[in-house]
Every structure is written in structure tokens, then in C-alpha cells.
Amino acid sequence: MRYLFPAKAGVALAAAILAVPAAANEIDNARSFDIAVSGSISQYCALGGIADMDFGNLERRGLSRQVPVAFNCNMPFTMTINGERGALTHTTMPNGQGPFGGQLPYSLSIEMPVRHPAQQVVTKSFTSRQIQAGGIISSNGGIATDGMVLGVELGLPSGEAGLLAGEYSEMITITVSPI
């Protein structure tokens, strides 16, 4: 049998047949080759919600709370804790009135398991004045996968006669940044 091709198709077919053995000879002579393989995983940190801490009657001494917080961070990080006023502060008279104070200092503690690759626990405590300036805790090169525990312990009132009657509050902001 004979097949007839138009002239252009015959030239293209001949060129394709001739090109295949040249590429095969190059591969046949190769003894090794490198293949670049790559990929990536996005950085993330997820911090669970924290319910407001209501201590109720602040006249009681030694009040404290510990709260577990969901926390997961797949890279080393630093955590910055900022307190808005540096104390639980009377909402309308932050400086108090007469012998009654308007501020109640507190301390904040953090306990956080980290891995690198062995697990260790990072802990740090701050006074309310320290976190007003910005307290910093580092994962020391580790990652967090098992949450953390925040603790708040109330201190002694600022006034000689105790605290002024009324509502007290403080806003604490926690920011996580990659190292």
C-alpha cells in the first residue's frame, strides 16, 4: 500500500520523525538529572474568643480567674499584651474621690505549651502597669498547638479608704506577630 501525502505534510512528518531520536539520545546518555520540587504552607495564628471576666463585688480580697483560651500558631511568634488604663478603673472618676480610690491594679499571667520539637511550657506574668506599656512574651522559637491559659489576679485598691462606689473596667488587647 502506498499513501500519498501533500508535500507540506510529508515534510512536517519527516521533521517530526527525525526530532524524536535526537531527544532520545540525550536522555539515553544521561546518568542523572535533578528535578526541582517545591511547595509552601501559609503562616497562620488563630486565637479563640475570650469571654469578659466579671469579678462582681470588688470589695472582696484575693479575687482571681483562670481562663483556657484556644490558640494555635504554626510558626514562632511573639505575643504583645496591652492594657488600656493599667488598672481596673472607675468608669466616670478614674482618680477616685476624697479618700476613695478609682483604680484597682491587677496582674495577668500566661501559661502556654509550645513545641520545638519537644514540648515545653512558656510562662510569664505582668503587672497591669507593665501591660499598659505593652508586655511581650515570646514562643522562644516554638509553635503553639495546645492553647493557653490566661490568669488575672486583682491587687489592692489605690485609695486609703478603699474603692469609690461604681463600675470599673479595663480593656486588654492581645496581638500575635510572627518572629
Domain, as residue range, for 106? 45-178
In a domain, 68, yes or no: yes
Note whether residue 103 is domain-resident: yes
Q: Scanning the structure block, which residue is given the C-alpha cell 478603673?
A: 89
29 occurs within a structural domain:
no
The number of folded domains in the chain is 1
140 lies in some domain: yes
Whether residue 3 lies inside any domain: the answer is no
Digitized pLDDT (tens) for each residue of the chain, 179 residues in all: 444 444 444 444 444 444 555 555 566 677 888 999 999 999 999 999 888 899 999 988 889 999 999 999 999 999 999 999 999 999 999 999 999 999 999 999 999 999 988 999 999 999 999 999 999 999 999 999 999 999 999 998 877 889 999 999 999 999 999 98
Q: Annotate the chain with DSSP letters as a single string.
A: ------HHHHHHHHHHHHHHHHHHHHHHH-S-------------EEE----------TTSSS-EEEEEE-EEESS-EEEEEEESSSSEEESS-TT-BTTBBSEE-EEEEEEEEEESSSEEEEEEEEEHHHHHH-EEEE-TT-BB-S-EEEEEEE---SSTT-BPSS-EE--EEEEEEE-
Residue 132 in any domain: the answer is yes
Structural domain contains residue 93 = yes
User: Looking at residue 114, which CATH number applies to its domain?
Assistant: 2.60.40
Q: Is residue 28 part of a domain?
A: no
In angstroms, the Cα distances linking 36 to 33, 39, 100, 157 are: 10, 10, 71, 65
